[in-house]
Chains A and B, each alone.
Chain A
Amino acid sequence: MLKLDGVSKVYRVGAFGGRALTAVSGVGFEVGEGEVVSLIGESGSGKSTIGRMVLRLTQVSGGTITLDGRDISSIRDRKEYYRQVQGVFQDPFSCFNPIFRADRVFALIKEQYFPGVGAREWRGRVEDALESVRLDPGNVLGKYPHQLSGGQLQRMLIARAVLLDIRLLVADEIISMLDASTRIDVLNLLADLRARGLGILFVTHDLSLGNYVSDRTVVLRDGRIAEMGPTPLVFGDPRHPYTRSLLAAVPRLHTKWTDAPVDGTADGTAEERAEDLPCAYHEAAQGSRTRPGLAEVADGHFVACSGCAGAAPEEKKMKERA
């Protein structure tokens, strides 16, 4: 459904825009119908920029983003595009105007997209959408934003997107502001929406959240894809040293960092140790390098070069022998 092909984004920075900052370079992946793809990266990895480009909030500098084979920048009528693709963002409180009732967001949708629908029918639709995000309409309609919790507001924003009968939802860090006891409900909700055929691009920095909900995972590093593939493969058998070091740094409930298995070389961080391992990209057969800069190490599991500078590991071994 959604396809990114060699997408890049260059920002002009510096006092007179004289310098260029490449936020995203050559990123390509797909999001199918009824599929949750999580985009994982640390700050500055370009994950939000990709989300913004898909939502047409930022222009694409290179490459193309297509929806059902149509370049999204060629869709003149933005409304037509936003009927199919919507976004939900990190801070639910800043998405509502505090002086209006929270359900105004639904009225705005009606005004803009469905002016011909009768009031009674619209009311029914709003209630259906609220029930689909597991909110009690009687409980939230007519309330002001400050009377609702972050989780409720976030679910209202998802309901707003559902009203448009969208096909793709860009969820940019939608859980990070929520409390632990409510965030899991929003995650389960995403999984339920997926079952109804909605494609979801789930942007997050939290590996455990991405792992919980997504079918496929794309790990970004400095604007490039480090590794991507089916979630169980990426998390169960990470092939890129960066993915490994990220996974090692995630705090877990039942294992402490200090309990983590230490390789023969006890010194150095996980990342340093991982760099001594052979680079999965250069170890893979020439024929498996099916995408630019990525080698397919297993079915649908792609990995980039670990930064070994070409054949550097082999040279190193040669030197050691000599």
Chain B
Amino acid sequence: MALSVTDLRVYYQTLRGEVKALDGVTFSVADGEIMGLAGESGSGKSTLAKSLIRLDGRMRHAGGTVELDGRTLPIADDRAMDEFRFREVSLIPQYSMSALNPTRKIGKMVGELLAARGVPGGTAELERRLELVGLSKDVLGRYPIELSGGMKQRVVMVVSTLLNPSLLIADEVTSALDVSSQKAVATTLLGFRDHGLVTSMMVVTHDISLVYQIADTILVMYAGRLAEKAPAEVLVTAPRHPYTRQLVSALPEVGVRYEDRRLAGIPGNPPSLLNPPGGCRFRDRCPVAFEQCAEQPPFAEVAPGHLVACWKAE
């Protein structure tokens, strides 16, 4: 088991109290698994991704453990995490444009980065990997400003995976790209796993139809908790959580037109995470809610590899 997260809680400290952005999350990612992590804004998906690599100043680790390849990640200890970052856990940030130093040529920047990590630099491996993502080695002699958005994203992807991390976290990597570069970047992610450069991967996104293309499993989050995890095919065709069902049916697809089939959104808004109500957090928007929902349903396995947090998902 590459990654296993147990009852992880991460809160944001604000002037008005603690925002429970991640409130008791338990799941695991197998070796070689690409897990899509989907959810709307405020669902806690980015908080989860960030807490596996670096907690920023406002975030507080309130409980729970994270284990990677049998070793516990010291996520609350910024310094101790240094040993794991980049080597064991690596992140592809959302905005590749701001991840590259604008005053350095790509090659020089990568060299400095490797030197800082005490890794002997050699451009042969770097060039081979650039080729793998469809970039020529000329990019090493260029400044970030000379590359297009899709190229920069791919450069960052190569840099992030240079030390063959065990877990790669891709945070909304395709959101800022056009459809054609989206496809290229997504298939590159798939290639990283297939070439054995990374062991497992978490792809954070709000776009279920995109992550469905590359992920083995999809985990859906709602208001700081897990709603459903299932193999990608099952999650899209036969979701069991009412939230996932409504979310999947609200997605317009090419070929669906307003005149033929009017899609419906989900009425209401997610609850505030400052003082979230007890019980199931989707209760107020849920069409099938009943008395028992006042109690938080367990994230239980209803079929092999299919976990749902809903009392009615039998």
Binding site for B on A (CB under 8 A): 42-43, 149-150, 179-185, 187-188, 191, 205-209, 211-213, 231-232, 235, 245-247, 249-254, 256-257, 271
Given the complex, which residues of B lie within 8 Å of A213, measured CB to CB? 258
Q: Give bound CA distance, A207 to B182, whole Å.
A: 13
User: B250 and A251: CB pair below 8 A?
Assistant: no
Return the chain B residue nearest A43 by Cβ: B178
Given the complex, which residues of B lie within 8 Å of A207, measured CB to CB? 179, 254
Contact of B212 among A188, A206, A253 (CB under 8 A): A253
Q: Give bound CA distance, A213 to B261, whole Å.
A: 11
Is B292's CB within 8 Å of the partner chain A?
A: no
> Are A231 and B257 CB-contacts (below 8 A) given A180-B208, A209-B252, A253-B251?
yes
Q: Give bound CA distance, A82 to B255, whole Å.
A: 35
Across chains A and B, which 10 residue pairs bring their CB atoms closest together, nearest first?
A42-B178, A181-B266, A179-B40, A212-B252, A185-B265, A251-B210, A249-B183, A251-B209, A184-B265, A249-B179
> Are A254 and B237 CB-contacts (below 8 A) given A42-B179, A180-B40?
yes
Given the complex, which residues of B lie within 8 Å of A212, measured CB to CB? 252, 256-258, 263
> Are A205 and B178 CB-contacts (below 8 A) given A212-B258, A253-B209, A254-B236?
yes
Contact of B206 among A180, A249, A271 (CB under 8 A): A180
Contact of A257 among B213, B236, B251, B269 (CB under 8 A): B213
> Are A211 and B262 CB-contacts (below 8 A) given A180-B251, A205-B178, A251-B182?
no
Q: Give bound CA distance, A180 to B243, whole Å.
A: 12
Interface residue count on the B side (C-beta < 8 Å):
37
Q: How far is the CB of A252 from chain B (nearest CB, A)?
A: 6
Q: Give bound CA distance, A223 to B212, whole Å.
A: 32
Is B246's CB within 8 Å of the partner chain A?
A: yes
Q: Chain B 250-280, CB within 8 Å of chain A: the 1/0 string?
A: 1111111110001111100100000000000
> Are A253 and B248 CB-contacts (below 8 A) given A180-B40, A205-B178, A211-B257?
yes
User: B187 and A252: CB pair below 8 A?
Assistant: no
Chain B, range 212-262, C-beta contacts under 8 Å to A: 212-213, 236-237, 246-248, 250-258, 262
Return the chain A residue nearest B41 by Cβ: A179
What is the interface of chain B mostly: helix, strand, loop, or mixed? loop
Given the complex, which residues of A lie within 8 Å of B253, measured CB to CB? 208, 252-254
Q: Give bound CA distance, A119 to B246, whole Å.
A: 41
User: B246 and A181: CB pair below 8 A?
Assistant: yes
Return the chain A residue nearest B179 by Cβ: A249
User: A181 and B236: CB pair below 8 A?
Assistant: no
Q: How far is the CB of B285 from chain A (nearest CB, A)?
A: 9
Q: How far is the CB of A113 from chain B (nearest CB, A)?
A: 31
6 more contacts with CB within 8 A, not counting A42-B178, A253-B251, are A185-B265, A208-B254, A211-B257, A246-B180, A249-B180, A254-B236
Q: How far is the CB of B152 from chain A (nearest CB, A)?
A: 13
Is B207's CB within 8 Å of the partner chain A?
A: yes
Q: Give bound CA distance, A267 to B180, whole Å.
A: 17
User: A181 and B247: CB pair below 8 A?
Assistant: yes
Return the chain B residue nearest A179 by Cβ: B40
Given the complex, which residues of B lie within 8 Å of A43, measured CB to CB? 149, 178
User: B256 and A252: CB pair below 8 A?
Assistant: no
User: A183 and B209: CB pair below 8 A?
Assistant: no
Return the chain B residue nearest A253 by Cβ: B209
Return the chain A residue nearest B268 by Cβ: A181
User: A256 and B212: CB pair below 8 A?
Assistant: yes
A-B contact pairs, 16 of them (CB 8 A): A43-B149, A180-B40, A183-B250, A183-B265, A184-B252, A185-B264, A208-B253, A212-B252, A213-B258, A231-B257, A232-B257, A247-B254, A250-B179, A251-B183, A251-B186, A253-B212
Return the chain B residue nearest A148 by Cβ: B269
